Structure 1
Amino acid sequence: MKKLGLATALLLAMTGAQAYQVEVQGQSEYIDNTVNDKNFTGAVQGTYYFKNVDSSKGPLAEAAFLNQASNASIAYNYGEYDVDGIADKTVHTIGAKAEAYVPTKVVPVYASASYSNTITDNKAAGVADDHGDRYALEVGALAAPNFLVAVGYTSAANQFALDAFNIMSNGIVKAAGETKTLGEDQDAITARAKYVGAIDGTNMAVGFESGIVYGDATAYQFKTDLYLNPKLSTGVSYAASSFVGTPDSAWGANVNYFITPAVAVGANYVYANAEGAKNDTQTVGVNAKFRF
Protein backbone atom coordinates (compact mmCIF):
# COMPACT_ATOMS: atom_id res chain seq x y z
CA MET A 1 0.00 0.00 0.00
CA LYS A 2 2.88 2.35 0.76
CA LYS A 3 4.34 1.75 -2.70
CA LEU A 4 0.94 2.37 -4.29
CA GLY A 5 0.54 5.61 -2.38
CA LEU A 6 3.99 6.80 -3.43
CA ALA A 7 3.33 5.92 -7.07
CA THR A 8 -0.01 7.77 -6.96
CA ALA A 9 1.60 10.87 -5.45
CA LEU A 10 4.31 10.84 -8.12
CA LEU A 11 1.76 10.45 -10.90
CA LEU A 12 -0.26 13.40 -9.62
CA ALA A 13 2.87 15.52 -9.40
CA MET A 14 3.80 14.75 -13.00
CA THR A 15 0.33 15.16 -14.52
CA GLY A 16 -2.33 17.31 -12.94
CA ALA A 17 -1.29 18.67 -9.55
CA GLN A 18 -2.86 22.11 -8.96
CA ALA A 19 -0.90 22.91 -5.77
CA TYR A 20 2.76 22.59 -4.95
CA GLN A 21 5.20 23.50 -2.19
CA VAL A 22 8.59 22.78 -3.81
CA GLU A 23 9.99 23.89 -7.15
CA VAL A 24 13.28 22.70 -8.66
CA GLN A 25 14.58 24.32 -11.83
CA GLY A 26 17.67 23.85 -13.92
CA GLN A 27 19.12 25.69 -16.90
CA SER A 28 22.14 25.80 -19.17
CA GLU A 29 23.44 28.47 -21.55
CA TYR A 30 25.84 28.23 -24.48
CA ILE A 31 27.90 31.41 -24.88
CA ASP A 32 29.26 32.62 -28.22
CA ASN A 33 31.18 35.90 -28.25
CA THR A 34 33.46 37.68 -30.69
CA VAL A 35 36.64 36.14 -29.33
CA ASN A 36 35.44 32.65 -28.46
CA ASP A 37 32.54 30.23 -28.86
CA LYS A 38 33.29 27.43 -26.38
CA ASN A 39 31.82 28.77 -23.16
CA PHE A 40 28.81 27.48 -21.23
CA THR A 41 27.01 27.66 -17.91
CA GLY A 42 24.82 25.31 -15.88
CA ALA A 43 22.60 26.30 -12.97
CA VAL A 44 20.08 24.80 -10.56
CA GLN A 45 17.74 26.35 -8.00
CA GLY A 46 15.47 24.83 -5.37
CA THR A 47 12.64 26.80 -3.73
CA TYR A 48 10.51 25.82 -0.73
CA TYR A 49 7.21 27.64 -0.19
CA PHE A 50 5.99 27.85 3.39
CA LYS A 51 2.39 27.19 2.28
CA ASN A 52 0.94 25.32 -0.70
CA VAL A 53 0.89 27.40 -3.89
CA ASP A 54 -2.41 27.23 -5.78
CA SER A 55 -1.63 27.11 -9.50
CA SER A 56 -5.22 26.77 -10.73
CA LYS A 57 -5.70 30.46 -11.55
CA GLY A 58 -3.69 32.64 -13.90
CA PRO A 59 -0.42 31.84 -15.68
CA LEU A 60 1.30 28.77 -14.23
CA ALA A 61 4.66 30.50 -14.50
CA GLU A 62 3.51 33.23 -12.09
CA ALA A 63 1.61 31.07 -9.60
CA ALA A 64 3.92 31.89 -6.68
CA PHE A 65 3.76 35.65 -7.34
CA LEU A 66 -0.02 35.63 -7.73
CA ASN A 67 -0.33 33.70 -4.46
CA GLN A 68 2.10 36.05 -2.65
CA ALA A 69 3.93 32.91 -1.56
CA SER A 70 6.69 33.43 1.00
CA ASN A 71 9.64 31.16 0.35
CA ALA A 72 13.29 30.26 0.82
CA SER A 73 15.66 29.33 -2.04
CA ILE A 74 19.15 28.08 -2.71
CA ALA A 75 20.93 28.24 -6.07
CA TYR A 76 24.17 27.15 -7.70
CA ASN A 77 25.73 28.24 -11.00
CA TYR A 78 28.75 26.80 -12.82
CA GLY A 79 30.43 28.55 -15.73
CA GLU A 80 33.34 27.90 -18.07
CA TYR A 81 35.07 30.83 -19.78
CA ASP A 82 38.06 30.14 -22.01
CA VAL A 83 39.60 32.60 -24.46
CA ASP A 84 42.90 31.46 -25.97
CA GLY A 85 45.75 33.63 -24.74
CA ILE A 86 43.46 35.92 -22.71
CA ALA A 87 41.53 34.03 -20.04
CA ASP A 88 40.88 30.52 -18.81
CA LYS A 89 38.65 30.26 -15.76
CA THR A 90 35.86 28.37 -14.05
CA VAL A 91 33.30 30.31 -12.02
CA HIS A 92 31.18 28.86 -9.19
CA THR A 93 28.37 30.90 -7.61
CA ILE A 94 26.19 29.73 -4.73
CA GLY A 95 23.35 31.70 -3.17
CA ALA A 96 20.61 31.71 -0.55
CA LYS A 97 17.50 33.89 -0.57
CA ALA A 98 14.31 34.41 1.42
CA GLU A 99 11.17 36.30 0.34
CA ALA A 100 8.23 37.22 2.57
CA TYR A 101 4.80 38.66 1.84
CA VAL A 102 3.09 40.04 4.95
CA PRO A 103 -0.59 41.12 4.87
CA THR A 104 -1.44 44.41 6.59
CA LYS A 105 -4.59 46.51 6.95
CA VAL A 106 -3.41 48.77 4.13
CA VAL A 107 -1.51 46.70 1.51
CA PRO A 108 0.54 43.50 1.52
CA VAL A 109 4.17 44.25 2.41
CA TYR A 110 7.12 42.54 0.71
CA ALA A 111 10.67 41.93 1.94
CA SER A 112 13.61 39.87 0.70
CA ALA A 113 17.21 39.17 1.63
CA SER A 114 19.86 37.28 -0.33
CA TYR A 115 23.52 36.32 -0.19
CA SER A 116 25.73 35.03 -3.01
CA ASN A 117 29.32 33.84 -3.04
CA THR A 118 31.37 33.64 -6.24
CA ILE A 119 34.59 31.65 -6.54
CA THR A 120 36.64 32.25 -9.69
CA ASP A 121 39.21 29.56 -10.41
CA ASN A 122 41.71 31.14 -12.79
CA LYS A 123 43.67 28.46 -14.65
CA ALA A 124 45.87 30.78 -16.71
CA ALA A 125 49.49 31.02 -15.55
CA GLY A 126 50.19 33.91 -13.20
CA VAL A 127 46.53 34.83 -12.65
CA ALA A 128 45.31 34.64 -9.06
CA ASP A 129 42.00 33.10 -8.05
CA ASP A 130 39.16 35.42 -7.01
CA HIS A 131 36.55 35.17 -4.26
CA GLY A 132 33.70 37.67 -3.84
CA ASP A 133 30.58 38.06 -1.67
CA ARG A 134 27.36 39.85 -2.46
CA TYR A 135 24.44 40.90 -0.24
CA ALA A 136 21.06 42.34 -1.14
CA LEU A 137 18.02 43.58 0.78
CA GLU A 138 14.65 44.70 -0.56
CA VAL A 139 11.45 46.12 0.90
CA GLY A 140 8.27 46.96 -0.95
CA ALA A 141 4.52 46.60 -1.20
CA LEU A 142 1.82 45.43 -3.57
CA ALA A 143 0.49 48.88 -4.39
CA ALA A 144 -2.36 47.30 -6.40
CA PRO A 145 -3.45 43.70 -7.04
CA ASN A 146 -0.52 41.79 -8.55
CA PHE A 147 1.56 44.98 -8.81
CA LEU A 148 4.75 44.99 -6.74
CA VAL A 149 7.07 47.94 -6.22
CA ALA A 150 10.27 47.52 -4.22
CA VAL A 151 13.47 49.37 -3.38
CA GLY A 152 16.64 47.91 -1.98
CA TYR A 153 20.33 48.03 -1.26
CA THR A 154 23.00 45.74 -2.62
CA SER A 155 26.65 45.46 -1.74
CA ALA A 156 29.49 43.52 -3.35
CA ALA A 157 33.17 43.16 -2.65
CA ASN A 158 35.56 44.63 -5.18
CA GLN A 159 36.15 41.06 -6.34
CA PHE A 160 33.88 39.65 -9.06
CA ALA A 161 30.63 38.73 -7.28
CA LEU A 162 27.58 37.50 -9.22
CA ASP A 163 24.00 37.31 -7.95
CA ALA A 164 23.05 33.62 -8.20
CA PHE A 165 19.34 34.44 -8.52
CA ASN A 166 19.86 37.09 -11.18
CA ILE A 167 21.58 34.40 -13.27
CA MET A 168 18.53 32.14 -12.89
CA SER A 169 16.06 34.93 -13.75
CA ASN A 170 17.88 36.83 -16.49
CA GLY A 171 20.81 34.77 -17.75
CA ILE A 172 24.56 35.06 -17.40
CA VAL A 173 25.15 37.98 -19.79
CA LYS A 174 22.77 40.35 -18.02
CA ALA A 175 23.84 39.15 -14.57
CA ALA A 176 27.53 39.66 -15.38
CA GLY A 177 26.90 43.11 -16.84
CA GLU A 178 24.97 44.18 -13.77
CA THR A 179 27.72 42.82 -11.51
CA LYS A 180 30.45 44.74 -13.35
CA THR A 181 28.36 47.90 -13.16
CA LEU A 182 27.99 47.46 -9.41
CA GLY A 183 31.70 46.71 -9.05
CA GLU A 184 32.49 50.33 -9.94
CA ASP A 185 30.98 51.53 -6.64
CA GLN A 186 30.50 48.29 -4.65
CA ASP A 187 27.33 49.68 -3.04
CA ALA A 188 24.18 50.58 -4.93
CA ILE A 189 20.51 51.39 -4.59
CA THR A 190 18.07 49.18 -6.47
CA ALA A 191 14.45 49.59 -7.49
CA ARG A 192 12.07 47.36 -9.40
CA ALA A 193 8.43 46.94 -10.31
CA LYS A 194 6.48 43.87 -11.39
CA TYR A 195 2.91 43.39 -12.64
CA VAL A 196 0.91 40.41 -13.89
CA GLY A 197 -2.66 40.85 -15.07
CA ALA A 198 -5.34 39.08 -17.08
CA ILE A 199 -6.46 40.33 -20.50
CA ASP A 200 -10.21 40.87 -20.20
CA GLY A 201 -12.43 38.50 -22.13
CA THR A 202 -9.67 35.94 -22.77
CA ASN A 203 -7.67 33.31 -20.90
CA MET A 204 -4.55 35.31 -21.77
CA ALA A 205 -2.46 37.47 -19.45
CA VAL A 206 0.46 39.88 -19.64
CA GLY A 207 3.39 40.54 -17.35
CA PHE A 208 5.85 43.42 -17.04
CA GLU A 209 8.98 43.79 -14.94
CA SER A 210 11.56 46.56 -14.76
CA GLY A 211 14.56 47.20 -12.55
CA ILE A 212 17.47 49.58 -11.99
CA VAL A 213 20.79 49.42 -10.14
CA TYR A 214 22.16 52.87 -9.34
CA GLY A 215 25.75 53.46 -8.16
CA ASP A 216 28.65 55.29 -9.84
CA ALA A 217 27.34 53.67 -13.01
CA THR A 218 23.78 52.60 -13.77
CA ALA A 219 22.27 49.38 -15.10
CA TYR A 220 18.62 48.85 -15.91
CA GLN A 221 16.42 46.26 -17.52
CA PHE A 222 12.88 45.72 -18.76
CA LYS A 223 11.06 42.56 -19.76
CA THR A 224 7.55 41.64 -20.73
CA ASP A 225 5.76 38.31 -21.22
CA LEU A 226 2.58 37.44 -23.05
CA TYR A 227 0.80 34.40 -21.62
CA LEU A 228 -1.13 33.00 -24.56
CA ASN A 229 -2.84 30.65 -22.12
CA PRO A 230 -1.95 29.49 -18.59
CA LYS A 231 0.59 27.01 -20.00
CA LEU A 232 2.33 28.86 -22.85
CA SER A 233 4.18 32.18 -22.78
CA THR A 234 6.59 34.15 -24.93
CA GLY A 235 8.51 37.25 -23.99
CA VAL A 236 11.18 39.82 -24.81
CA SER A 237 13.69 41.66 -22.66
CA TYR A 238 16.14 44.55 -22.79
CA ALA A 239 19.04 45.53 -20.51
CA ALA A 240 21.67 48.26 -20.65
CA SER A 241 24.57 49.60 -18.60
CA SER A 242 26.41 52.92 -18.50
CA PHE A 243 29.65 51.21 -17.39
CA VAL A 244 32.04 51.04 -20.35
CA GLY A 245 33.43 47.68 -19.23
CA THR A 246 30.19 45.89 -20.16
CA PRO A 247 28.11 45.41 -23.31
CA ASP A 248 26.13 48.60 -23.91
CA SER A 249 22.83 46.79 -24.42
CA ALA A 250 21.36 43.31 -24.49
CA TRP A 251 18.18 42.10 -26.19
CA GLY A 252 16.53 38.81 -25.37
CA ALA A 253 13.62 36.56 -26.30
CA ASN A 254 12.16 33.52 -24.56
CA VAL A 255 9.42 30.91 -24.78
CA ASN A 256 8.17 28.69 -21.96
CA TYR A 257 5.63 25.86 -21.90
CA PHE A 258 4.12 23.83 -19.07
CA ILE A 259 3.71 20.26 -20.30
CA THR A 260 1.67 19.64 -17.15
CA PRO A 261 0.99 21.98 -14.21
CA ALA A 262 4.04 20.41 -12.56
CA VAL A 263 6.54 20.20 -15.46
CA ALA A 264 7.77 23.04 -17.68
CA VAL A 265 10.41 23.52 -20.36
CA GLY A 266 11.72 26.65 -22.02
CA ALA A 267 14.32 28.25 -24.25
CA ASN A 268 15.87 31.71 -24.46
CA TYR A 269 18.19 33.78 -26.63
CA VAL A 270 20.20 36.92 -25.76
CA TYR A 271 22.25 39.20 -27.98
CA ALA A 272 24.53 41.71 -26.24
CA ASN A 273 26.09 44.53 -28.25
CA ALA A 274 29.41 46.08 -27.19
CA GLU A 275 30.10 49.33 -29.02
CA GLY A 276 33.75 49.95 -29.81
CA ALA A 277 34.91 46.61 -28.37
CA LYS A 278 35.33 43.04 -29.57
CA ASN A 279 33.07 41.34 -27.06
CA ASP A 280 29.66 41.15 -28.69
CA THR A 281 27.98 38.12 -27.15
CA GLN A 282 25.16 35.73 -27.97
CA THR A 283 23.72 33.09 -25.68
CA VAL A 284 21.26 30.26 -26.26
CA GLY A 285 19.74 28.63 -23.21
CA VAL A 286 17.35 25.87 -22.22
CA ASN A 287 15.59 25.33 -18.90
CA ALA A 288 13.20 23.01 -17.08
CA LYS A 289 11.07 23.21 -13.92
CA PHE A 290 9.55 20.52 -11.70
CA ARG A 291 6.98 21.19 -9.00
CA PHE A 292 5.67 18.92 -6.27
Structure 2
Amino acid sequence: MKKIGLAAAVLLAMTGAHAYQFEVKGQSEYVDTTTNDKNYTGDLQGTYYFKNVDASKGPLAEAAFLNKASNVSVGYSYEQYNVKNSVNYHVGTYGVKGEAYFATPYTASIPLYANASYNHTNQDFKNGKNDDNGDRYALEVGAMPTNNFLLAVGYTRTNPLALDTFDIMNYGIAKAYGESTFSGNKDYTTARVKYVGAIDGTNMSIGFEGKTIFNNHQAAYGLKTDLFLTPALSVGVSFADTSNLNSGFDHVWGANVNYFVTPAISVGATYVKANAKNDIANSSTPSFGDTDTVGLNASVRF
Protein backbone atom coordinates (compact mmCIF):
# COMPACT_ATOMS: atom_id res chain seq x y z
CA MET A 1 0.00 0.00 0.00
CA LYS A 2 2.90 2.37 0.73
CA LYS A 3 4.30 1.76 -2.75
CA ILE A 4 0.91 2.42 -4.31
CA GLY A 5 0.56 5.63 -2.32
CA LEU A 6 4.01 6.80 -3.37
CA ALA A 7 3.33 6.05 -7.02
CA ALA A 8 0.04 7.94 -6.84
CA ALA A 9 1.77 10.94 -5.28
CA VAL A 10 4.41 10.99 -8.02
CA LEU A 11 1.74 10.68 -10.72
CA LEU A 12 -0.21 13.55 -9.18
CA ALA A 13 2.91 15.70 -9.07
CA MET A 14 3.60 15.01 -12.74
CA THR A 15 0.08 15.60 -14.02
CA GLY A 16 -1.79 18.05 -11.84
CA ALA A 17 0.65 20.04 -9.73
CA HIS A 18 0.38 23.82 -9.83
CA ALA A 19 3.47 24.50 -7.73
CA TYR A 20 7.03 23.40 -8.22
CA GLN A 21 10.54 23.99 -6.89
CA PHE A 22 12.71 22.12 -9.41
CA GLU A 23 12.78 22.29 -13.19
CA VAL A 24 14.82 20.20 -15.64
CA LYS A 25 15.03 21.15 -19.32
CA GLY A 26 16.51 19.30 -22.27
CA GLN A 27 17.02 20.40 -25.87
CA SER A 28 18.56 19.22 -29.12
CA GLU A 29 19.04 21.18 -32.35
CA TYR A 30 19.79 20.03 -35.87
CA VAL A 31 22.34 22.45 -37.36
CA ASP A 32 22.60 22.97 -41.12
CA THR A 33 25.14 25.60 -42.27
CA THR A 34 27.16 26.70 -45.28
CA THR A 35 30.16 24.73 -44.07
CA ASN A 36 29.02 21.82 -41.91
CA ASP A 37 27.85 18.25 -42.42
CA LYS A 38 24.59 17.44 -40.60
CA ASN A 39 25.36 18.10 -36.94
CA TYR A 40 23.30 18.07 -33.75
CA THR A 41 23.55 19.75 -30.36
CA GLY A 42 22.54 18.53 -26.93
CA ASP A 43 21.70 20.81 -23.98
CA LEU A 44 20.59 20.18 -20.39
CA GLN A 45 19.68 22.63 -17.64
CA GLY A 46 18.52 22.17 -14.05
CA THR A 47 17.02 24.95 -11.90
CA TYR A 48 16.26 25.08 -8.17
CA TYR A 49 13.86 27.76 -6.90
CA PHE A 50 14.29 28.85 -3.30
CA LYS A 51 10.51 28.93 -2.76
CA ASN A 52 7.63 27.08 -4.40
CA VAL A 53 6.59 28.61 -7.71
CA ASP A 54 2.83 29.06 -8.09
CA ALA A 55 1.92 28.08 -11.65
CA SER A 56 -1.85 28.48 -11.27
CA LYS A 57 -2.04 32.00 -12.69
CA GLY A 58 -0.89 33.29 -16.04
CA PRO A 59 1.18 31.53 -18.71
CA LEU A 60 2.82 28.36 -17.40
CA ALA A 61 6.00 29.10 -19.35
CA GLU A 62 6.46 32.38 -17.46
CA ALA A 63 5.46 31.17 -13.99
CA ALA A 64 8.89 31.81 -12.45
CA PHE A 65 9.05 35.37 -13.82
CA LEU A 66 5.49 36.16 -12.72
CA ASN A 67 6.31 34.85 -9.23
CA LYS A 68 9.61 36.76 -9.07
CA ALA A 69 11.16 33.43 -8.12
CA SER A 70 14.82 33.60 -7.09
CA ASN A 71 16.79 30.60 -8.25
CA VAL A 72 20.09 28.97 -9.11
CA SER A 73 20.75 26.99 -12.30
CA VAL A 74 23.41 24.74 -13.76
CA GLY A 75 23.68 23.87 -17.43
CA TYR A 76 25.71 21.95 -19.97
CA SER A 77 25.76 22.21 -23.77
CA TYR A 78 27.55 20.02 -26.32
CA GLU A 79 28.02 20.58 -30.05
CA GLN A 80 29.91 18.50 -32.58
CA TYR A 81 30.75 20.47 -35.72
CA ASN A 82 32.22 18.96 -38.88
CA VAL A 83 33.44 21.43 -41.48
CA LYS A 84 33.44 19.86 -44.95
CA ASN A 85 37.00 18.90 -45.94
CA SER A 86 38.45 21.00 -43.12
CA VAL A 87 38.30 21.50 -39.36
CA ASN A 88 36.31 19.12 -37.17
CA TYR A 89 35.79 19.99 -33.54
CA HIS A 90 33.66 19.38 -30.47
CA VAL A 91 32.45 22.23 -28.26
CA GLY A 92 31.44 21.70 -24.64
CA THR A 93 30.14 24.47 -22.39
CA TYR A 94 29.14 24.30 -18.76
CA GLY A 95 27.73 27.12 -16.67
CA VAL A 96 26.19 28.20 -13.37
CA LYS A 97 23.78 31.09 -12.84
CA GLY A 98 22.04 32.75 -9.92
CA GLU A 99 18.99 34.99 -10.26
CA ALA A 100 17.41 37.04 -7.44
CA TYR A 101 14.40 39.27 -6.94
CA PHE A 102 14.43 41.31 -3.72
CA ALA A 103 13.34 44.55 -2.06
CA THR A 104 15.04 46.97 0.32
CA PRO A 105 13.54 49.39 2.87
CA TYR A 106 14.05 52.12 0.27
CA THR A 107 12.53 50.19 -2.65
CA ALA A 108 9.66 48.33 -1.00
CA SER A 109 7.26 49.14 -3.83
CA ILE A 110 9.78 48.50 -6.63
CA PRO A 111 11.36 45.03 -6.53
CA LEU A 112 15.02 44.92 -7.51
CA TYR A 113 16.62 42.27 -9.67
CA ALA A 114 20.10 40.81 -10.14
CA ASN A 115 21.69 37.85 -11.85
CA ALA A 116 25.25 36.62 -12.17
CA SER A 117 26.63 33.79 -14.28
CA TYR A 118 29.83 32.01 -15.22
CA ASN A 119 30.35 29.82 -18.30
CA HIS A 120 33.37 27.91 -19.57
CA THR A 121 33.71 26.71 -23.18
CA ASN A 122 36.19 24.14 -24.50
CA GLN A 123 36.75 23.70 -28.24
CA ASP A 124 38.29 20.29 -28.77
CA PHE A 125 39.80 20.28 -32.27
CA LYS A 126 40.09 16.86 -33.91
CA ASN A 127 42.71 17.67 -36.54
CA GLY A 128 45.81 18.19 -34.39
CA LYS A 129 45.22 21.84 -33.46
CA ASN A 130 45.48 22.94 -29.85
CA ASP A 131 42.25 23.18 -27.89
CA ASP A 132 40.74 26.60 -27.17
CA ASN A 133 39.26 27.44 -23.77
CA GLY A 134 37.11 30.47 -23.02
CA ASP A 135 35.54 31.94 -19.89
CA ARG A 136 32.52 34.17 -19.66
CA TYR A 137 31.50 36.24 -16.62
CA ALA A 138 28.25 38.21 -16.64
CA LEU A 139 26.43 40.44 -14.17
CA GLU A 140 23.04 42.10 -14.60
CA VAL A 141 21.07 44.38 -12.27
CA GLY A 142 17.67 45.96 -12.66
CA ALA A 143 14.27 46.80 -11.23
CA MET A 144 10.57 46.18 -11.84
CA PRO A 145 8.90 49.62 -11.91
CA THR A 146 5.50 48.01 -12.54
CA ASN A 147 4.18 44.49 -12.12
CA ASN A 148 5.67 41.92 -14.53
CA PHE A 149 7.85 44.56 -16.21
CA LEU A 150 11.64 44.32 -15.88
CA LEU A 151 14.34 46.82 -16.84
CA ALA A 152 17.96 45.69 -16.46
CA VAL A 153 21.50 46.61 -17.49
CA GLY A 154 24.52 44.34 -17.49
CA TYR A 155 28.22 43.82 -18.06
CA THR A 156 29.85 40.77 -19.65
CA ARG A 157 33.53 39.86 -19.69
CA THR A 158 34.60 37.20 -22.13
CA ASN A 159 37.67 35.79 -23.89
CA PRO A 160 38.15 33.38 -26.84
CA LEU A 161 34.82 31.84 -27.83
CA ALA A 162 32.91 31.61 -24.56
CA LEU A 163 29.26 30.71 -25.10
CA ASP A 164 26.38 31.22 -22.67
CA THR A 165 24.79 27.88 -21.76
CA PHE A 166 21.55 29.54 -20.69
CA ASP A 167 21.23 31.62 -23.86
CA ILE A 168 21.72 28.41 -25.87
CA MET A 169 18.83 26.82 -23.99
CA ASN A 170 16.56 29.86 -24.32
CA TYR A 171 17.42 31.14 -27.80
CA GLY A 172 19.35 28.38 -29.60
CA ILE A 173 22.96 27.81 -30.61
CA ALA A 174 22.94 30.23 -33.58
CA LYS A 175 21.97 33.27 -31.52
CA ALA A 176 24.31 32.36 -28.65
CA TYR A 177 27.18 31.94 -31.12
CA GLY A 178 26.32 35.24 -32.82
CA GLU A 179 26.43 37.14 -29.51
CA SER A 180 29.80 35.63 -28.63
CA THR A 181 31.39 36.50 -31.98
CA PHE A 182 29.86 39.99 -31.90
CA SER A 183 31.84 40.77 -28.76
CA GLY A 184 35.14 40.16 -30.57
CA ASN A 185 36.45 38.50 -27.40
CA LYS A 186 36.11 41.80 -25.56
CA ASP A 187 33.99 43.11 -22.72
CA TYR A 188 30.58 44.57 -23.52
CA THR A 189 27.54 46.08 -21.84
CA THR A 190 23.87 45.13 -22.22
CA ALA A 191 20.40 46.58 -21.68
CA ARG A 192 17.33 44.38 -21.41
CA VAL A 193 13.57 44.81 -21.04
CA LYS A 194 10.95 42.13 -20.39
CA TYR A 195 7.19 42.22 -19.94
CA VAL A 196 4.43 39.62 -19.58
CA GLY A 197 0.79 40.63 -19.29
CA ALA A 198 -2.77 39.42 -19.80
CA ILE A 199 -4.85 40.50 -22.79
CA ASP A 200 -8.02 42.02 -21.38
CA GLY A 201 -11.24 40.13 -21.98
CA THR A 202 -9.50 36.93 -23.08
CA ASN A 203 -7.70 33.92 -21.68
CA MET A 204 -4.60 34.98 -23.60
CA SER A 205 -1.41 36.79 -22.61
CA ILE A 206 1.45 38.49 -24.40
CA GLY A 207 5.15 38.38 -23.60
CA PHE A 208 7.90 40.64 -24.90
CA GLU A 209 11.67 40.71 -24.39
CA GLY A 210 14.30 42.97 -25.95
CA LYS A 211 18.07 43.06 -25.48
CA THR A 212 20.75 45.42 -26.79
CA ILE A 213 24.52 44.85 -26.70
CA PHE A 214 27.11 47.64 -26.91
CA ASN A 215 30.76 47.06 -27.80
CA ASN A 216 33.33 49.50 -29.26
CA HIS A 217 30.72 51.92 -30.62
CA GLN A 218 28.90 49.03 -32.29
CA ALA A 219 25.58 47.55 -31.29
CA ALA A 220 23.49 44.43 -31.66
CA TYR A 221 19.91 43.88 -30.62
CA GLY A 222 17.42 41.08 -30.26
CA LEU A 223 13.62 41.11 -29.99
CA LYS A 224 11.33 38.25 -29.00
CA THR A 225 7.58 38.12 -28.51
CA ASP A 226 5.30 35.26 -27.46
CA LEU A 227 1.54 35.01 -27.75
CA PHE A 228 0.08 32.72 -25.09
CA LEU A 229 -3.12 31.46 -26.70
CA THR A 230 -3.91 29.66 -23.45
CA PRO A 231 -1.86 29.32 -20.25
CA ALA A 232 -0.50 26.07 -21.71
CA LEU A 233 0.05 26.91 -25.41
CA SER A 234 2.23 29.64 -26.91
CA VAL A 235 3.67 30.63 -30.27
CA GLY A 236 6.46 33.13 -30.72
CA VAL A 237 8.76 34.92 -33.16
CA SER A 238 12.15 36.57 -32.74
CA PHE A 239 14.61 38.75 -34.65
CA ALA A 240 18.21 39.86 -34.08
CA ASP A 241 20.61 42.10 -36.02
CA THR A 242 23.95 43.86 -35.55
CA SER A 243 25.98 46.77 -36.90
CA ASN A 244 29.27 44.93 -36.28
CA LEU A 245 30.72 43.93 -39.65
CA ASN A 246 33.07 41.42 -38.01
CA SER A 247 30.37 39.47 -36.22
CA GLY A 248 29.21 36.09 -37.41
CA PHE A 249 25.55 36.82 -38.19
CA ASP A 250 23.02 39.43 -39.12
CA HIS A 251 19.27 39.16 -39.72
CA VAL A 252 18.63 36.23 -37.40
CA TRP A 253 14.99 35.12 -37.56
CA GLY A 254 13.32 32.62 -35.27
CA ALA A 255 9.99 30.97 -34.50
CA ASN A 256 8.88 28.71 -31.67
CA VAL A 257 5.91 26.84 -30.27
CA ASN A 258 5.54 25.48 -26.74
CA TYR A 259 2.84 23.35 -25.14
CA PHE A 260 2.38 22.16 -21.57
CA VAL A 261 0.91 18.67 -21.77
CA THR A 262 0.30 18.97 -18.03
CA PRO A 263 1.19 21.83 -15.67
CA ALA A 264 4.43 19.93 -14.98
CA ILE A 265 5.49 18.69 -18.44
CA SER A 266 6.10 20.74 -21.57
CA VAL A 267 7.28 20.06 -25.11
CA GLY A 268 8.32 22.54 -27.76
CA ALA A 269 9.90 23.12 -31.15
CA THR A 270 12.07 25.95 -32.54
CA TYR A 271 13.37 27.15 -35.89
CA VAL A 272 16.13 29.71 -36.44
CA LYS A 273 17.48 31.12 -39.71
CA ALA A 274 20.70 33.16 -39.52
CA ASN A 275 22.46 34.90 -42.40
CA ALA A 276 26.25 35.20 -42.26
CA LYS A 277 27.87 38.63 -42.46
CA ASN A 278 30.48 37.47 -44.97
CA ASP A 279 30.93 34.60 -47.40
CA ILE A 280 32.96 32.12 -45.39
CA ALA A 281 32.10 28.92 -47.18
CA ASN A 282 35.76 28.24 -47.86
CA SER A 283 37.10 29.46 -44.53
CA SER A 284 39.42 27.11 -42.61
CA THR A 285 38.47 28.64 -39.25
CA PRO A 286 35.48 27.43 -37.20
CA SER A 287 32.45 29.45 -38.20
CA PHE A 288 28.82 28.68 -38.89
CA GLY A 289 28.12 30.63 -42.08
CA ASP A 290 24.49 30.82 -43.26
CA THR A 291 22.64 28.70 -40.74
CA ASP A 292 19.31 26.94 -40.26
CA THR A 293 18.52 25.13 -37.03
CA VAL A 294 15.53 23.03 -35.99
CA GLY A 295 15.19 22.20 -32.32
CA LEU A 296 13.06 20.06 -30.04
CA ASN A 297 12.84 20.60 -26.29
CA ALA A 298 11.07 19.34 -23.19
CA SER A 299 10.90 20.23 -19.51
CA VAL A 300 9.74 18.59 -16.29
CA ARG A 301 8.78 20.42 -13.10
CA PHE A 302 8.40 18.91 -9.63
Fold match, TM over 0.5?
Answer: yes
Choose which of 123, 145, 150 in structure 2 pairs with 1:120.
123
Match of 1:16 in 2: 16
CA distance in 2, matches of 1:78, 1:200: 42
CA distance in 2, matches of 1:40, 1:214: 31
- Are residues 95 and 275 of structure 1, via their aligned partners in 2, closer, same or farther at CA, if it must alter by over 3 Å? closer
| SS of residue in 1 equivalent to 2:109 | coil
Instruction: Tell me the alpha carbon deviations over residues 115-134 of structure 1, each in whole angstroms, 9 at most, x when there is no partner.
Output: 00001101123x21001110
Could you tell me whether the CA contact under 8 Å between 1:148 and 1:195 is conserved in 2? yes
Could you tell me whether the CA contact under 8 Å between 1:49 and 1:70 is conserved in 2? yes
Alpha-carbon distance, 1:105 to partner: 1.6
| SS of residue in 2 equivalent to 1:221 | strand
Between 1:217-226 and 1:262-271, the stretch displaced more is: 217-226
Choose which of 155, 158, 161 in structure 1 pairs with 2:157.
155
Match of 2:260 in 1: 258
TM-score by length of 1: 0.96
CA distance in 1, matches of 2:33, 2:224: 23
Match of 1:173 in 2: 174
Match of 2:243 in 1: 242
Is 1:285 matched up with 2:302?
no
CA distance in 2, matches of 1:120, 1:6: 44
Match of 2:286 in 1: none
Is 1:94 matched up with 2:94?
yes
Match of 1:110 in 2: 113
Could you tell me whether the CA contact under 8 Å between 1:16 and 1:260 is conserved in 2? yes
Between 1:38-47 and 1:275-284, the stretch displaced more is: 275-284
Alpha-carbon distance, 1:6 to partner: 2.3
Query: How big is the alpha-carbon RMSD for the aligned residues of Structure 1 and Structure 2?
Result: 1.2
Match of 1:136 in 2: 138
Give the % identical residues. Answer: 60
CA distance in 2, matches of 1:96, 1:35: 31
Moved runs in structure 1, 4+ residues, more than 4 A?
none
Q: Which amino acid aligns with 1:111?
A: A
Q: Which amino acid aligns with 2:229?
A: L
CA distance in 2, matches of 1:71, 1:37: 38
Instruction: Tell me the alpha carbon deviations over residues 201-224 of structure 1, each in whole angstroms, 9 at most, x when there is no partner.
Output: 011000000001111242210000
| SS of residue in 2 equivalent to 1:13 | helix
Match of 1:232 in 2: 233
CA distance in 2, matches of 1:37, 1:223: 29
CA distance in 2, matches of 1:165, 1:183: 20
Q: Which amino acid aligns with 1:98?
A: G
CA distance in 2, matches of 1:139, 1:151: 6
TM-score by length of 2: 0.93
Alpha-carbon distance, 1:87 to partner: 1.7
CA distance in 1, matches of 2:251, 2:127: 29
Could you tell me whether the CA contact under 8 Å between 2:28 and 2:296 is conserved in 1? yes
